[in-house]
Amino acid sequence: MPNHFNLRVYDAACELSRVVHESLETHDVTRVPGLRAQLIEAAGSIAANTAEGAGRGSAARFLNHLRIALGSANETRTHLTRARSEARLPTKQYFLCDSKALVTARMLASLIRRIEEDEARRQNEKSA
């Protein structure tokens, strides 16, 4: 399995987490109880699951953690939408964070697809 520090998606997830955290530091989103904590947790979970999965030693375990990370990316986008509509996160900050979350989610989906295809190819070669 790859070293997570060599994965572009890990870098993107770390950047997303940083931008979300900074956006919430400069804007009061406490109008919706717990939303700030949920958003920070969801954004941070993407990089954490990517790193943990990379260290698991098997493609199946790595894929499982990448799928969890993808779920966290989707959760982050949902919380961002709520922060914009219910907690008055400014539109500029919302679009900055959401675009990074979308790119990260697409990178995760692409990596998942590539690993699944590689694993299927290996299985076909074994059985041939």
Lowest mean pLDDT segment, chosen from 61-65, 72-76, 121-125? 121-125
How confident is the model at residue 91, as a pLDDT? Answer: 93
Give the H or E element holding residue 68: helix 59-85
Sole residue written with tokens 């989707």: 74
Q: What is the DSSP string of 100-118?
A: HHHHHHHHHHHHHHHHHHH
Integer Cα distance of 58 and 61 in angstroms:
5
**Furthest C-alpha separation in the chain:** 60
Q: Look at the pTM and tell me if it is higher than 0.85.
A: yes
Instruction: Answer positive or negative: Cα dihedral of 64, 68, 71, 77.
Output: negative
- pLDDT tens column, 79-114: 999 999 988 899 999 999 999 999 999 999 999 999
CA 94 to chain centre: 16
